Structure 1
C-alpha cells in the first residue's frame, strides 16, 4: 500500500510466495521476502509512471513536467493537471496549394481509364453475343464516364469501384469465353487493376508520390531548423504533415526558466528564416519536377501569451485554456484560407511568405524581421500589405506578404 495525499491508502499490487511442501518457510525466508518489498514497490511505481508518460510522445522540452507528475502519481498523491502558463505561441504553415483539386483530377483520370477498359470488355462481349444485360451495362458505363467528365463527387471514388466489382467483374468467368477479343479485353482490365487497390490507380499513385516528396522535403528542412532553434532555448514544438506541413511552437519561462525576451525574438526571427527555407525547398522541387504542386507559406503572429494544459481525455498533447486563448485557436484553424478584403483573393500566394498580425506593435517588430530577411537575401524588399476579410468571430487582422528568393546556386568551377 501507498498513502495518498488525502491520507487514504492505495493498493498498488500483491505478491505471494508459495511452496509445494507444508511449513516450508522459516523466519529467514520471511525476512528475505520482506526485503523484496521495496524492489516490488519500485517496479510498480515505474509501471505507473510509464503508463502515464507514454500516453503520448512528449517533447523533450516539456517531458520533465510529465515525469514529475508521473512520480507524484506513483507516490499516491492527488493527480494535478499539467499546465504551462504564459507561453508564447508561434504558428506557421506551408500549405500545398490546390492539393484537393489535383487529387480529384487524379481520381477522375484513373476512374475514366477503368471505365473505358470495362466498356471495351462489354463491347467485345456484345459483338460476340446479343445480350440485353450487356447492353444495359454498356449504357451504365457511358453514364459513369459522362458523370466523371462533368465533376467528381465525394463518394464516387468508392461507389464507382464497388459498382464495377458487384455488377461487372463478377461476370469475368463468362466474358473470357466470349471470343478472343473479349478475353484480351478482360486481361487488359485485370492487368490495369493488378495492384494493392485492385483498381486503376496510376494517376493517384503519381499524386501520392508527389505529395510524399513535397512533404518529406519540407519536413527535412523544418527539422533541420528545429535543431538549431532548440539551441536558442528549449521549447515545445508540435509538427504535422498532411497537404503540406504546419508547426506550433510554445516557448516561455514555465517551460524553461532561462527564457527571456531575447530568446523570444530570436525564435521569432528564426521561425521566419525556417519558413523561408521551406519556401526555397518548394521552389527547388518545382524547378526539378515542373508539374509539382506549389506551396504557400504563412506565419501567424501573436504578441500576448496563452496558457496550455494537458487534457488526458483528448488525443492532443496540449489544449488552450480560457476564452481569450481559444480565439487564437480559431484564427489558427481558419487563417490559411483567409481572403484579402480588397482583392478577394487568398492572402497566401505560392512562393511567398505571408505574416498575419493584429496590432501596430506586432507589425513594427516583424517589419524589422522582414528587413533583416531581405538583407540576408531570403526575400525581396517589396512588401505587399492588406486587410484580412473578417473570419467567423474574428475581425481586424492584417497581413504583409513578401516573395521568397530562390537560393543562390554556387558557381561551377
Structure 2
C-alpha cells in the first residue's frame, strides 16, 4: 500500500519482481501487436544502462547533489588558498551527501612553532564568511537543478586543543584521546539535533547554525556575526538555542542566524564560479 509509504527493502523487492517475473514475459507480449511492442521498448528505454533499473527521479536527485557538491568543493578549494595567507594550516574536505570541511591549525603544525590566537580568530571569521557565500552560491544554483534542493549549513566550534597525529598509512590526520573522540562523535550527531522542545531541526535552509559548548564561544561568534551583518552577509535576529540531549552529549547550545540571500550582489568569487558552472552545463 503506497499510502503507507515505502520501506527500505521495498525497492529491491520490486526490482527483483520486474527482472525475474515481468521482463522474461515481455518478449512474448511484444508479439501481440505494435502498441504492446512500443510499450515494451519504452520500458527498456527508461532503464538505467548500468543498473538495469528505472532510476529517473533518483538519478535527477543524485545529479543535483553532485552538482551542488562539485560547485561548493571548487569554491572552497579556491577560497582556502586565500586563507593560507592568514596562517598556514591543514585543510581537509569530504563530499558525501554534502560537503564537510575541517581546518587544523596550531603551533605544532608550522615549522617555527609561532602561533597566536589572533590567527585562529581570523580563520574563524573567514570560515563564517565563506559559509555565508556557500549558502548564497547554493541558493543561486537551485533554480537550475533538476531537483531544486535546499541546503543547510552548520559550524561546530572547537575551543579545546585537539591531539592529532599524521598517519603515514592513511595519509591523513587522526584525532586521538578520549575528549577528542567525543569531538568526533559530536561532529556526526549534531546535524540531526533538535531544538524548541524537539519540534524543529536545528539546521534550516538559508540559515547557519553555530554549535558551541561554552558561553565564551558564543560571545566570540556574536562579534563575527555583528561584523558580517554590517557587511551585508547576515540578517537579524540571532537565535540562541538549547539543543535536545543527544546520545552521550548534553548541554550543547547553538547560535542560528539567517543568511541574506537577497543581497544586491554576490561576491565576485561566487559570480565567477556560477559563470564557470554555466559554461560546463552548456558545453
Aligned with residue 232 of structure 1, among 86, 99, 102:
86
Deviation at 1:366, TM superposition (A): 1.0
Q: Whose Rg is larger?
A: 1
Aligned with residue 367 of structure 1, among 222, 242, 248:
222
Aligned with residue 151 of structure 2, among 272, 295, 307:
295
Q: Answer yes or no: is the 8 Å Cα contact 1:175–1:182 preserved in 2.
A: yes
Q: What's the counterpart of residue 196 of structure 1? A: 50
Question: Which secondary structure does the structure 2 equivalent of 1:231 belong to?
Answer: coil
Question: Size of the alignment, in residue pairs?
Answer: 263
Deviation at 1:218, TM superposition (A): 1.5
Deviation at 1:208, TM superposition (A): 1.7
Q: What's the counterpart of residue 204 of structure 2? A: 349
| Structure 1 residues 198 and 149: alpha-carbon distance in aligned structure 2, compared to 1, 3 A threshold | farther
| Structure 1 residues 316 and 354: alpha-carbon distance in aligned structure 2, compared to 1, 3 A threshold | farther
Q: What's the counterpart of residue 182 of structure 2? A: 327
- Using the size of structure 1 for normalisation, the TM-score is 0.60
| CA displacement, residues 112-151 of structure 1 (integer Å, 9 cap, x when unaligned) | xxxxxxxxxxxxxxxxxxxxxxxxxxxxxxxxxxx44542
In the aligned structure 1, how far is the partner of 2:159 from the partner of 2:39? 65
Structure 1's consecutive aligned runs of 4 or more residues displaced over 4 angstroms after TM superposition are: 287-291
In the aligned structure 1, how far is the partner of 2:62 from the partner of 2:24? 30
Instruction: Indicate whether 1:318 and 2:173 are aligned.
Output: yes
| CA displacement, residues 339-373 of structure 1 (integer Å, 9 cap, x when unaligned) | 11535311111101111111111111111111111
In the aligned structure 1, how far is the partner of 2:6 from the partner of 2:242? 34
Q: Answer yes or no: is the 8 Å Cα contact 1:221–1:277 preserved in 2.
A: no
Aligned with residue 211 of structure 1, among 65, 72, 86:
65
Which runs of 5 or more structure 1 residues have no equivalent in the other structure? 1-146
| Structure 1 residues 382 and 290: alpha-carbon distance in aligned structure 2, compared to 1, 3 A threshold | farther
Q: How does 1:41-60 map to 2 (within 5 A)?
A: none
Q: What's the counterpart of residue 383 of structure 1? A: 238
Deviation at 1:185, TM superposition (A): 2.5
Q: What's the counterpart of residue 191 of structure 2? A: 336
Q: Answer yes or no: is the 8 Å Cα contact 1:342–1:386 preserved in 2.
A: no
Calculate the aligned-residue CA RMSD, in Å: 2.1
Q: Answer yes or no: is the 8 Å Cα contact 1:306–1:325 preserved in 2.
A: yes
Q: What's the counterpart of residue 274 of structure 1? A: 130
Q: What's the counterpart of residue 403 of structure 1? A: 258
In the aligned structure 1, how far is the partner of 2:198 from the partner of 2:176? 35
Which runs of 5 or more structure 2 residues have no equivalent in the other structure? 267-283
Q: What's the counterpart of residue 247 of structure 1? A: 101
| CA displacement, residues 79-100 of structure 1 (integer Å, 9 cap, x when unaligned) | xxxxxxxxxxxxxxxxxxxxxx
Aligned with residue 265 of structure 1, among 102, 121, 140:
121
In the aligned structure 2, how far is the partner of 1:308 from the partner of 1:188? 56
| CA displacement, residues 362-396 of structure 1 (integer Å, 9 cap, x when unaligned) | 11111111111111111013101111111111111
Give the structure, 1 or 2, with the largest relative contact order (CA under 8 Å, sep 6 or more): 1
- Using the size of structure 2 for normalisation, the TM-score is 0.85
Aligned with residue 14 of structure 2, among 140, 160, 165:
160
Aligned with residue 36 of structure 2, among 182, 191, 197:
182
